[in-house]
Structure 1
Amino acid sequence: MNNGQIKIIKYEEVFADQTVRMWRDSKEQAINQNERHHIHSHKYYLSHILPDHYDIDLALLDNQVIGMIAYNEVEISQLYIHVDYQGIGIGKQLLNRAKNYSNGKLQLYTFDKNEYAKTFYEKNGFKKVGIQLENEENLTAIQYEWRK
């Protein structure tokens, strides 16, 4: 890993290209499935739809996006870490921001085939509470919940 300082900032649209590329690469690696949405649609979603319902934080290293989280008081919508920076604590840092902002309970979904994410959430206090069978990826998703 680079010896630079990791900074957590609120999402800024200047980072849209980097964020979407990182998000897509991380998701594609995790579920072995190409992203269905065109990159322009994905950037629009990130900059104009997601912020209406969620706070978005970015993890930066040397001004490069290496992680992102979208969350509100009750839910984590997205949490992705650059494939080269997984397993070194960035996800936990972002997750703790969401926990601190929460009302004491958070829910999220992750794909059942994403063993790495399931292990990560379970190590960080999330419990399986349900499943989701219908989503655009046509993959089973596990619903997780965390309580303070």
Structure 2
Amino acid sequence: MQNKIVNYEEMYHDRLVNIWYRAVCQTHTFLTEQDIQYYHNMVQNGALKEVEIWVELIGNNEPIGFVGVDGTKIEMLFVDPDYHGQGIGSRLIKHIEKLKGTNLKVDVNEQNEGAHAFYKRYGFVQTGRSELDGSGRPFPLLHLELNKQTRH
């Protein structure tokens, strides 16, 4: 059975929050447990409803990753840690590219070197930097834009 990408439905909410939590614990090693709980509360209580969400489902219709966008800006991209390195993140971005065009933007935590490397491999280039994250917390963000010339 082939994986498929579908639009968000409420029935996926708790599984997506779980994917978010497990992925953040594994990849955002610069966050304290208190920081993770702060963001977890935001994701659990509404952040998924504030953006357009697309979910990749494995053959048994179980979510294994998701991307959230606001217009052409990727606001979140998380893959179940059990499925890291299998092309899910790239497939989700390609899906968004088909829907929104190639003028995509994303902010990535400066300390999340794995995510920065992932977006760079995909063809995103840094266009700016902020000292604080979107919640005003001291986690610098790198502002990236998709550059079709460097795209693989």
Normalising to structure 2: TM-score of the pair?
0.82
Gaps of 5+ in 2: none
Does residue 144 of the first structure (1) align with residue 144 of the second (2)? yes
SS in 2 for 1:105: coil
Match of 2:62 among 53, 64, 73: 64
Partner letter of residue 16 of structure 1? Answer: H
Q: Count matched residues.
A: 141
CA contact under 8 A between 1:72 and 1:102: conserved in structure 2? no
Select between 66-75 and 29-38 the one with higher mean Cα deviation. Answer: 29-38
Paired-residue identity, %: 25
Partner letter of residue 102 of structure 1? Answer: K
Render the CA deviation track for 1:88-143: whole Å, top value 9, x for unaligned.
11100000111122243111111112121111111111001111211245222111
Distance 1:145 1:41 in 2: 25
Question: Which residue number corresponds to residue 108 of structure 2?
Answer: 110
Gaps of 5+ in 1: none
Give 1:1-148 correspondences, 5 Å limit. 4-32=1-29, 33=31, 34=33, 35-37=36-38, 41-48=42-49, 50=50, 54-61=51-58, 62-135=60-133, 136=135, 137-148=137-148
Shift of 1:147: 4.1
Distance 1:141 1:41 in 2: 18
Partner letter of residue 139 of structure 1? Answer: F
